[in-house]
Chains A and B, each alone.
Chain A
Amino acid sequence: MNLFLWILLGFLVICALAATFHRNLLSTVIIFMGYSVVMSVIWVLLQSPDLAITEAAVGAGVTGVLFFVTLKKIRQVDDEYSEGKKHEEEKQD
């Protein structure tokens, strides 16, 4: 069980670094949600299931959705989508 905890903690550090250094904001939000899921497993291992439920619902669910909506609002997602489309069109040309 201890080894399992260490693996999860290492994953948390990797997630934190990846979320900081990733260029794509959409991927950053998804990494952040993965971080929350692992964190909720760690809460269960630390014997606080109350916090685990809250972390899973808020951290992995609602916060992620709000981030997505914000990204869409500031046109980050749309921009990347249209840029990808542009590249496709250029290829076709």
Chain B
Amino acid sequence: MKKKSRTKNQSLFARIQSFLDSQDDRLTEEMERDEEPEPPHESKLPVWGQTVEGLASGEIRFFDKIYPFAAFLLALFIIAVLLVTASRLPRFGGDSNPALNEVTERYLEDGMEETGAVNLVTGIILDYRAFDTLGESHVLFTAAVAVLVLLFDAATEKQDLLENRDYDLAGDTVFREGVRFLLPVILLFGVYVVLNGHLSPGGGFSGGAILGAGLILHSLGYGFAATEKLVNRKSYGALTVCSLCFYSLSKAYSFFTGANHLPSIITSGVPGRIFSAGLILPLNICVGIVVACTMYGFFSLYKRGRI
């Protein structure tokens, strides 16, 4: 409280400095607090604090003064560069923007005929640029694998100690009844957004994120044991891998054809109907499944160390 009142009438730089100082104080406090409970072990190795005091306290104090100043200058420099760049960007939606070229015209004029999607954004990302989206969904999968490698904790499987400690919300009646009301609406909206990706705003990514949020809500309200009936490690792996394989099989031939389309036997149908737009609907479902599973998998791994 003392520090706050002191910093009231100071310049921005002084405030930043005192803020950094207070963070330092807090850090050292925490470090001291952490060190306290450890038994004092007698070792001949030089302790860090002693080395600092004995060797080069002057130098380190010197850098202590330099660092905040240098950081402030660096931040100012980056802010200036970004502002200058932003001021030179072309006006939003202007006529002479470099993005407004023949590609945009082609998309806007022939997009609906060629892809069959009423929502042109989905038409672009899942038909013209389906190859890019293939990479994006694989990035999601790779991220999930990386988190799995980092956070997977086999020990929690045998002793479900976390199961009882962490899910205090599952016993909360108000929260659980709220989930009971909200969850069907959320899941239904997620499915709607995924299935209508080619007709209305939305698509695999947004719908999948909504579905994943619904799954997270369910696991918070009813515990992971209930959610595991729907998404456990087996079904997680099967769903994700099947979706990615389907997507890859249907679009990865662009590797061999030089990013050109092959003539498809699936017609684009009548624009506006739900079974139209060729492969866009199944691809949307695939992306939705991958995103939903990844979101829930992240949460589950963060929370308890396994899926």
Chain A contact residues, CB within 8 Å of chain B: 21, 23, 46, 48-50, 52-54, 57-58, 61-62, 65-66, 69-70, 73
Contacts and interface: CB of A to CB of B under 8 A. Distances in A.
A61 B201 contact: no
Contact of B213 (A52, A62, A73): A62
Contact of B212 (A23, A46, A53, A62): A62
Interface string B197-228: 00001110110011011001000000000000
Contacts of A65: 213, 216, 299
Contacts of A48: 121
Give the 5 A-B CB pairs with smallest separation, nearest first.
A49-B201, A57-B209, A53-B206, A54-B206, A69-B302
Given A23-B19, A62-B212, A65-B299, 6 more contacts: A48-B121, A57-B210, A62-B216, A62-B299, A70-B302, A73-B302
A54 B209 contact: yes
B25 to A, nearest CB: 12
10 contacts: A23-B22, A50-B119, A50-B202, A54-B209, A57-B210, A61-B213, A62-B209, A65-B299, A66-B298, A73-B302
Interface of B: 19, 22-23, 92, 119, 121-122, 193, 201-203, 205-206, 209-210, 212-213, 216, 295, 298-299, 302-303
B19 A50 contact: no
Tell me whether chain A's interface is mostly helix, strand or loop, or mixed.
helix
B299 A57 contact: no
B250 to A, nearest CB: 22
Nearest to B208: A57
A27 B216 CA distance: 21
Contact of A53 (B22, B23, B193, B295): B193
B248 to A, nearest CB: 23
Nearest to B121: A50
Contact of A66 (B122, B210, B302): B302
Nearest to B298: A66
B213 A57 contact: yes
B142 to A, nearest CB: 17
A58 B206 CA distance: 8
Contacts of A53: 193, 201-202, 206, 210
Nearest to B30: A79
